Structure 1
Amino acid sequence: MAPTDDASKATARLAQLQSHLPADYSDITSQLTHLETLARTPPTTQASYQRQLSRGKLWVRDRITSLLDPDSFYEIGPTTGSITWTSSSDGPPQPTDLIPSNNLQGRGTINSRRVLLTADDFAVRAGHADGALMEKTLYVERLALHTRTPIIKLVDGSSGGGSVTMTMKLGFTPLPSLHNFFSLVAQQCDLGIPNVGAILGPAVGLGATRAAMCHFTVIARDVGSFFAAGPKVVEHATFEEGLTNDELGGAALQTANGTLDNIALNEHDAFHQIRTFLSYVPSCGASELPPILLPSSDPITRRDLEIATHIPRRPARAANVPAIVDSLFDKDSVFVIGATFSRTSLTALARLGGHPVGVIANLSSLALDAAGCKKIAKHLRMCDVFNLPVVQLIDCPGFAVGSAAEREATMKAGVEMAKAYYSTTVPVYSIVVRRCYGVAGGIMVDPREMKERVFWPSAEFGSLPADGGGIEVAHRGELRKEAERRGREGYEKRLEELKREYRAMENPLRAAARFNVEEVIRPEETRRWAGEWVARQYEKGGVLERRVAERMAGRLVVRF
């Protein structure tokens, strides 16, 4: 065949192909548009979608719309999933159906601040790995670490965890491998890149783990549950039959044991709490200070003349520490974390003169139990990674004692709390409003080499409370002799005399005279004292700025 004939055929074939392939690639972009439309259209005819709605749950994309600023969401990998390609007689195969990945990823803004987001779609394979690509999830985790951007995890399922049916697809039983995931999240948490989790359905396995690792986690009470394995698996493992999701791992249970932080009334309340939490913390504690709201509408010179009345003069009555907290910090700025985990301590975020702070307080004049120690330790570590100065109100009669306290390993938890105080370096300001006794009180009131603290006139402190059995032990011999001489009446009379003598020495002004305590202040001036201290920490060239510089230079390493 002549060369010219070959050339003619090639030219004709090329012309034929070009007639089917638009020069602007609109054939492919139209396929992209079709796939994006499939992914973003609610699957209203699917039973799984209808089940979501019937259970009072939002569709995953409606969740994202409710959480983020309007029109700020940019999806990463919107066409990831299982595509059905149908052959065409007059052209290449066309995509006709898409089962999207059940874990949406993307970026957006909250209060104009950049965040990354992962969100489970329980309507697709209940969040299991059969419907999600782990590499897609890992990509966003890497992106959060690389760009040092807060990451929010809306959990509803196993977040890409495995399932039994995956074995049939692979043809072998896969060995679990989670190093890449856990390593990324651990680095984020230590750098102070905010990790925030929301439980918006049954969080199980890897999904539960992802949430539990976060700095802050909230669970929607009406739809959320959290467990290592669901009721059916538990039934086979422990023979506990008939458990509901709520009985096994409902909101009340998982916040009372400290696994999760806060309960939300519903999904919208959960999103509100996420936005609130983020307003107190930097985008990356390794390089930024927390966001300051200035000017503050609540001046630090504000005086509450009634604040001292929250400390009863009668020792047997409990102090109203929550009322003191509300009075001390900026109005409507106190965001409590872990309210139902331990009734012996309070942890919160707040503002003082517009400056974000961490808050620690003892509650109801109760001795610190194991849960209270764990709660304080976690809060300290969180404040440390976010450069949040801590203001604490101390009313601590010591560690809890008794057989129940020993069974809960209270002293071990107390030691872990001590390690948190002495291994963190964020500034701490202590206000002793009432009791400060024993090892527990000593740990709380003396956490830094530079002692920055004040005492109320109601403050009482020592190795052991005088009315807590200490007098009876210390004066046992004397009291026994008095009982032998004058009987029970003599014993009680001498004991009461000793108590009066000791109470007279509890006046904090006696300790201040020897500079054993630095400042005894009027309670109504507490806001000014604490506010000026916080402002100094935030000032240019101050402690917090120097701390961030040390972290950026690698000379200060913190751990969550």
Structure 2
Amino acid sequence: MTDSNDNKSSKTGASERLSQVAGHVAPRKRRAAKAKNELPADYSDILGQLESLKTIARSPDTKNKGYVRQKQAGKLWVRERVLELLDEGSFHEVGSVSGTVQWKKLEGTKEEPESYIPSNNVQGFGTLRGRRVVFTADDFSIRAGHADGALMEKTIYMEKLAVALKLPIIKLVDGSSGGGSVTTIKTAGYSYIPPMPSFKHVAEQLNLGIPNLGAVLGPAIGLGAARVVACHFSVMAADVGALFNAGPKVVAGATFEEGLSFTDLGGPSMHCTNGTIDNLAANEQECFEQLRTVLSYLPNSGTSLPPILPSDDPADRLCEELRSIIPRRKARMYDPRKIITTVVDIGSWFEIGALWGTTAIVGLARLGGRPVGIISLNCEVNAGALDAAGSQKMTRHLKFCDSFNIPILQFVDVPGYAIGTNAERTATMRHGIALATTYFSTTTPVFSVVTRRVYGVAGGVMLDCRDPRMRVAWPSGEWGSLPLDGGIEVGHAAELKAIKDKDKREARYKELEEEYTRLMNPVRTANAFGVEEIIDPALTRKIAVEWLKHVYDELLPSRLFDRANGKIHPIFY
């Protein structure tokens, strides 16, 4: 009985499997014709909508008033800028169809875009000389760059991406970068307390050493101005750039300054000479080139070493012209930039902030292909005395180099802080002490070359900021608490005052001057180990290259480890 039941069951199972196989191999019946409202299986309808919107976004409306105004002002359209900035073929957009769409309902569930205004900010990924970056670019031709429905979210997303992926971020500013407009109140139906959700991420980028580079390619207004000024490095196009907290109409109503143009209010002559913007460029293309150049010296983040490039300039190249560059007559000036360009790799010097804080010279260069920050005093301006603006400029550069793990080579010729009523009025000591605390709170390696004078607090701060000191002096070096001019009068005031005869007083002054000059022979200081080594100026490059190679090979890897473990915390702002 049991066997019979098992047999039946087995036959039934076999029949079912056979039926299943037959169903697979039998010719399939044709599907019924698609229903009128059936959607395509390959989603071609959705892909078609996306492509339509992208085509509109990529194609300028040459009749649009905003586009016409952009061209009449001599400015590139936003997508022209992006393509000129990035390496060919590297542009990948993020948020490519964000914007305002009016949809036309078709039959059933179908619809198609009837009109489309793209978001007024183009953002995405690309490469600069092979380096991957994220970027944001304002479109002033649409609502002058003011906020729209998608812009804030897009911008915040790109700021977050820069931190998460440790990628440099480039900001091309032309407008308010999504800042407010009174029309937003009408659109929303209520007024709002201004939010600032992106700046948390900006501050994080700056202090993490994620390159944040900006260009002013039109009027940078309000939030747009804030975004570019917050960058590690900023540049303004001389022909179209301007920057201000509020435009001429608002200014006229608030301060009664009427008839101001964008340039009058915040053009290059204003902001490239007061330190708000670092550099000036002739036009948009030169702005893009400066952005590429600065990025070439910087790592992707503070957890990496600056990029090292091959160099054809011999590390042991003698700089014989430096032996006579410092005049024997102490009152005569010399070209401090000539010293910099002679010592560093040929063609590698890039100056930052040349038009402001002109008592100081700062920038980036390479030695043996390795990036190095440069600081020098400028004896051709105010005899090199360090004023408030020069101190601010050097403070910013020290923090910049500290953020990016870039060692510093400084050429020191400083008679002290600037003196006089203008120096006191501009808070020279306040800014000088801010510089001093920055020297002593940053940790990037510093190598000093004393080319001439080292006097006062300013000189002491620059040379004593690292322990042990890494420094050499040239034979032209002179140093002390005060320069002899003025110092002799102070130190021997009673003696000189007591000599009533003018000729005798002048003769005594000359005797004192000769005596002090003899005692200030730099070799005497070296005899007392007051200076570690006096070198032949021609060997400066060789010595600096050797120092920098050791720093990159031995010291910077340890610095990266300490930074990753939270032992050091560079702060840019």
TM-score (norm. length: structure 1):
0.94
- Maintained 8 Å contact 2:37/2:107: no
The answer on 1:194 being equivalent to 2:211 is yes
Counterpart residue number, 2:502: 488
Residues 97-496 of structure 1: pairs in structure 2 closer than 5 A: 97-130=115-148, 132-178=150-196, 180-285=197-302, 287-294=303-310, 296-364=311-379, 365-467=383-485, 469-482=486-499, 484=500, 487-496=501-510
Q: Aligned letter for 1:163? A: S
Which of structure 1's runs of 4+ aligned residues deviate more than 6 A? none
Question: Tell me, what secondary structure is at the counterpart of 2:472?
Answer: strand
> How far apart are the structure 1 equivalents of 2:298 and 2:278?
16
- For structure 1, which segment, 193-202 or 125-134, has the greater mean C-alpha deviation from structure 2 after superposition? 125-134
Please tell me whether the aligned partners of residues 20 and 91 of structure 1 are also in contact (alpha carbons under 8 angstroms): no
1:548 paired to 2:560: yes
* CA distance, structure 2, for counterparts of residue 19 and residue 99 of structure 1: 29
Shift of 1:309: 2.2
User: Aligned partners of 1:63, 1:531: CA distance in 2, in Å?
Assistant: 38
2:112 alignment partner, SS class = strand
Whole-Å separation in 1 of the counterparts to 2:388 and 2:121: 37
Could you list the per-position Cα deviations for residues 481-514 of structure 1 after superposition, in whole angstroms to 9, with x for gaps in the alignment?
Answer: 22x2xx1111111111111111112211111111
Query: Do the aligned partners of 2:432 and 2:458 also contact (CA within 8 Å) in 1?
Result: yes
Report how far residue 78 of structure 1 moved.
Answer: 0.6
| Contact 2:138/2:175, CA 8 A, preserved across alignment | yes
Whether the 8 Å contact between 1:329 and 1:352 is mirrored in structure 2 is yes
* Corresponding residue SS for 1:130: coil
Equivalent residue in structure 2 for 1:501, among 508, 515, 522: 515
User: Quick one: distance in 2 between partners of 1:222 and 1:91?
Assistant: 51
| CA root-mean-square deviation | 1.3
5+ residue gaps, structure 2: 1-31
Other-structure match for 2:547: 533
What residue identity is the alignment partner of 1:545?
Answer: P
Residue 251 of structure 1 contacts residue 263 of structure 1 at CA under 8 Å; is this kept in 2? yes
Q: Which amino acid aligns with 2:135?
A: L
Amino acid of the structure 1 residue aligned with 2:571:
R
Secondary structure, aligned partner of 1:129: coil
Contact 2:392/2:435 (<8 A) preserved: yes
Q: Does structure 1 retain, via aligned residues, the 8 Å contact 2:211–2:300? A: yes
**Where do 1:2-21 residues align within 5 Å?**
19-21=37-39
Q: Which residue type is aligned with residue 423 of structure 2?
A: A
Size of the aligned set, in residue pairs, is 538
Q: C-alpha displacement at 1:308, in angstroms?
A: 2.6
Say which SS state the counterpart of residue 172 (structure 2) adopts. strand
How far apart, CA to CA, are the structure 1 residues paired with 2:109 and 2:395?
65
Larger Rg: 2
CA distance in 2, matches of 1:424, 1:518: 23
Residues 68 and 110, structure 1, Cα contact 8 Å, conserved in 2: yes
Structure 1 distance, partners of 2:53, 2:463, is 61
* Residue type at the aligned position of 1:338: G
SS at match of 2:289: helix
SS in structure 2 of the partner of residue 473 of structure 1: helix
User: Residue in 2 aligned with 1:10?
Assistant: none
Distance 1:18-1:521 versus aligned 2 partners, 3 A rule: farther
Alpha-carbon deviations, 1:490-540, whole Å to 9, x = none? 11111111111111122111111111100100010100111100010011x
Instruction: Give the match for residue 11 of structure 1.
Output: none
CA–CA distance in structure 2, aligned partners of residues 39 and 196 of structure 1: 25
The offset of 1:20, in angstroms, is 3.2
Equivalent in the alignment of 1:30: 48
Q: Is the 8 A contact 1:125 1:131 kept in 2?
A: no
Are the aligned partners of 1:103 and 1:132 in contact in 2 as well (CA < 8 Å)? no
**3-state SS of 2:450 partner:** strand
Change (3 A) 1:171 1:91: closer
Task: Describe the SS at the equivalent of 1:199.
Answer: strand
Identity %: 52
Write the distance in 1 (CA, Å) between the matches of 2:150 and 2:489.
67
Deviation at 1:455, TM superposition (A): 0.2
Runs of at least 5 residues in structure 1 that lack an aligned partner in the other structure = 1-13
Deviation at 1:466, TM superposition (A): 0.7
Q: Deviations over 1:351-379 (max 9, x none)?
A: 01111000000002420000000000000
CA distances 1:423-472 after superposition (whole Å, capped 9, x unpaired): 100000000000110000110111111100000000101100012x1100
What amino acid sits opposite 1:477 in the alignment? A
Please point out which of 509, 514, 536 is paired with 2:528. 514
Q: Indicate conservation of the 8 Å contact 1:100/1:131, yes or no.
A: no
2:81 is aligned, of 56, 63, 82, to 63
CA separation in 1, counterparts of 2:505 and 2:105? 101
Q: Is the 8 A contact 2:387 2:428 kept in 1?
A: yes
Structure 2 counterpart of 1:222, one-letter code: D
Alignment-derived partner of residue 6 in structure 1: none
TM-score, normalised relative to structure 2: 0.92
- TM-fit CA distance, 1:88: 2.5
